[in-house]
């Protein structure tokens, strides 16, 4: 064993072999990691020779040189897949971000007046026009928006909210925790399944700063349930002169019923038209843009939010701002088909079946695969539209040698990674979230994986 340990190549010699081919920093790190791995295996009696050492080092170098964040093919059927980065962006948006990132910009410079300007001014007119709000503001995400609203308007004061709306969002973040950190005092009313206007009214006192409602975007309740309607909350707020705030969550800008999706999902414009004083939502969910927290509503309240020093800590950068501006521009021009999330949510079954048939045809000559096209259900995802199931078509495959779990694992580790779902020991490629340009990549990847 000691003799074999002494034969492990010195790091300096490995560097000499690879230094002309790869950056030295990666060679040194890879050589050390592989040497340590071999040393451990020898001591544990799991390795009897050094065969493949240099090959393992080179594989490790290539692995280290790859970026950690990768472009992934989403074949899960979950449109707004949080784990896979939520909303994919439009090509127009991507090109505009690239243009702005490639040089200087008028981010905070008023070109007409020749002096410092506001970064939010670039998108405020779009947001006001699209939502019907008096004013608007944007921060880095919707949790930040909720925090900023509460801290600005209710620090040290009470915020009344239904017990049934104290939700937990992604990453174990909970509305009560955000409220506590904001300095607002939580005053929960009603019960888990039933809250009435009288519950809100009974809790109002001299220290009440805000009447708040949270959209249950990532779950739903049915049966013996009751919640306060937005319009009733508005009336109550007007009666006592207390602002109303609605965390709409999913950031929907349009009425999905116009596209044949029969859901009662709140959108910004409808909420503002009902008289809610402030509404916030995410930029990278149903809106289909980059991550952002959008706040729209009454001008006097938005002005207070803008002046809060914490707003600077939550502000969005120029790339996010550019992506959001171009996304809003697409909405303004009614180019909904160019927004990937909207396009995927509204794809018709015929188009999905045609796409599935095309992939089936591409895969039919790969040995060992049993292929079929099946009808199934997809999900919007991202904590949005929890009740909605979208009809979809999938290409289902089985391999005569590999289990579906093993094939799924290999696809996840491929370049680019392909993430599918498994049902009844079949690997499903859901066409609702697979782009046309990815079909040939799926074929090529499967061919390479199954030829090993």
pLDDT band of 211, cuts 50, 70, 90: very high
pLDDT band of 172, cuts 50, 70, 90: low
Q: Is 422 helix (H, G, I), strand (E, B) or coil?
A: strand
What average pLDDT does the chain have? 93
User: Considering the entire predicted model, what is its pTM?
Assistant: 0.91
Q: Taking residues 390-403, report their average pLDDT.
A: 95
Q: Is the pLDDT of residue 167 over 70?
A: yes
Token pair in block for residue 224: 């013996």
Q: Is the pLDDT of residue 329 over 70?
A: yes
pLDDT score at 80: 94
User: Is residue 360 within 8 Å of residue 374, measured between CB atoms?
Assistant: no
SS3 per residue for 379-403: ECCCCCCCCCCEEEEEEEEEECCCC
Q: Taking residues 352-357, report their average pLDDT.
A: 97
Contacts of 441 (CB under 8 A, 6+ apart): 73, 416, 418
In DSSP notation, 214-243 reads E--TT----SS-B---HHHHHHHHHHHT--
Q: Taking residues 244-272, report their average pLDDT.
A: 90
Query: In the beta sheet, which residues pair with residue 265?
Result: none
CA dist 34 and 10 (Å) reads: 12
Of 268, 274, 318, nearest to 294 by C-alpha is 268
Q: How many angstroms separate the Cα of 225 from the Cα of each of 115, 220, 280, 350?
A: 55, 10, 25, 38
Q: Taking residues 241-247, report their average pLDDT.
A: 96
Half-sphere exposure of residue 276: CA atoms within 13 angstroms, side-chain side? 27
Token pair in block for residue 374: 């099946």
For the beta carbon of residue 312, count every other beta carbon within 10 angstroms. 8
SS3 per residue for 254-279: CCHHHHCCCCCCCCHHHHHHCCCCEE
The b-or-e profile of 387-425 (16+ CB within 10 A means b, else e) is ebebebbbbbbbbeebebeebbebbeebeeebbbbeeee
Q: Is 199 helix (H, G, I), strand (E, B) or coil?
A: helix
For domain 91-338, which CATH number applies: 3.40.190.10, 1.10.760.10, 3.40.109.10, 3.40.640.10?
A: 3.40.640.10
Token pair in block for residue 196: 């009435």
CA dist 185 and 181 (Å) reads: 10
**CATH of the domain spanning 73-83+344-451:** 3.90.1150.110
Q: Is the pLDDT of residue 10 over 80?
A: yes
Q: Taking residues 65-79, report their average pLDDT.
A: 96
Q: Is the pLDDT of residue 12 over 60?
A: yes
Instruction: Identify the top-confidence range among 69-73, 190-194, 264-268.
Output: 69-73
Tell me the CA end-to-end span of the chain in Å, nearest whole number. Answer: 33
Long-range (24+ apart) CB contacts under 8 A made by 261-267 are: 261/345, 261/346, 261/388, 263/385, 263/387, 263/388, 265/384, 265/385, 266/215, 266/230
Q: Taking residues 67-73, report their average pLDDT.
A: 95
Least confident of 123-132, 289-298, 373-382: 373-382
pLDDT band of 192, cuts 50, 70, 90: confident
φ/ψ of residue 89, rounded to 5: -95, 155
Q: Is the pLDDT of residue 294 over 70?
A: yes
Percentage above 90 pLDDT, the chain? 82
pLDDT score at 428: 97
User: Is residue 217 within 8 Å of residue 252, measured between CB atoms?
Assistant: no
CA dist 339 and 333 (Å) reads: 12
pLDDT band of 9, cuts 50, 70, 90: very high
pLDDT score at 390: 94
pLDDT band of 164, cuts 50, 70, 90: confident
pLDDT score at 170: 62
Q: Is the pLDDT of residue 118 over 90?
A: yes
Of 54, 70, 66, nearest to 11 by C-alpha is 54
pLDDT score at 219: 54
Residues in the chain, overall count: 452
Query: In the beta sheet, which residues pair with residue 154?
Result: none
């Amino acid at each position: 064993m000691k003799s074999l340990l002494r034969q492990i190549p010195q790091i300096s010699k490995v560097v000499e072999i690879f230094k002309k081919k790869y950056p030295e920093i990666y060679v040194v790190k890879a050589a050390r990691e592989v040497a340590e791995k071999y040393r451990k295996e020898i001591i544990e009696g799991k390795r009897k020779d050094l065969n493949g050492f240099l090959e393992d080092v080179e594989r490790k170098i290539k692995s280290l040189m790859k970026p950690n964040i990768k472009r992934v093919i989403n074949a899960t059927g979950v449109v707004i897949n949080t784990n896979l980065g939520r909303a994919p962006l439009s090509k127009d948006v991507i090109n505009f971000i690239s243009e702005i990132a490639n040089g200087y910009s008028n981010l905070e410079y008023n070109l007409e007046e020749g002096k410092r300007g506001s970064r939010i001014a670039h998108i405020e007119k779009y947001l006001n026009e699209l939502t019907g709000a008096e004013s608007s503001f944007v921060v880095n995400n919707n949790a930040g928006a909720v925090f900023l609203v509460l801290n600005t308007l209710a620090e040290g004061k009470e915020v009344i909210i239904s017990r049934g709306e104290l939700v937990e969002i992604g990453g174990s973040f909970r509305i009560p925790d955000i409220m506590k950190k904001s300095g607002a005092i939580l005053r929960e009313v009603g019960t888990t399944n039933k809250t009435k206007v009288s519950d809100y009214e009974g809790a109002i006192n001299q220290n009440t700063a805000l009447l708040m409602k949270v959209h249950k975007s990532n779950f739903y309740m049915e049966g013996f349930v009751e919640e306060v309607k937005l319009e009733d909350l508005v009336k109550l707020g007007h009666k006592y002169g207390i602002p109303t705030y609605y965390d709409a969550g999913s950031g929907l800008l349009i009425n999905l019923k116009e596209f044949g999706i029969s859901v009662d999902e709140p959108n910004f414009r409808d909420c503002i038209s009902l008289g809610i004083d402030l509404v916030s939502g995410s930029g990278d969910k149903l809106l289909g843009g980059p991550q952002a927290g959008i706040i729209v509503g009454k001008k006097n309240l938005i002005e207070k939010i803008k002046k809060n020093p914490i707003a600077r800590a939550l502000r969005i950068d120029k790339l996010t701002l550019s992506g959001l501006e171009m996304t809003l521009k697409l909405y303004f021009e009614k180019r909904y088909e160019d927004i990937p999330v909207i396009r995927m949510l509204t794809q018709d079954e015929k188009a999905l079946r045609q796409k599935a048939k095309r992939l089936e045809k591409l895969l039919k000559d790969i040995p060992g695969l049993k292929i079929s096209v099946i009808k199934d259900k997809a999900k919007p995802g991202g904590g949005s539209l929890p009740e909605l199931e979208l009809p979809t078509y999938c290409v289902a495959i089985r391999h005569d040698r590999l289990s579906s779990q093993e094939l799924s694992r290999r696809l996840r580790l491929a370049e680019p990674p392909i993430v599918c779902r498994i049902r009844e020991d079949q690997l499903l490629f859901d066409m609702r979230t697979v782009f046309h340009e990815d079909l040939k990549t799926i074929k090529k990847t499967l061919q390479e994986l199954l030829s090993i």
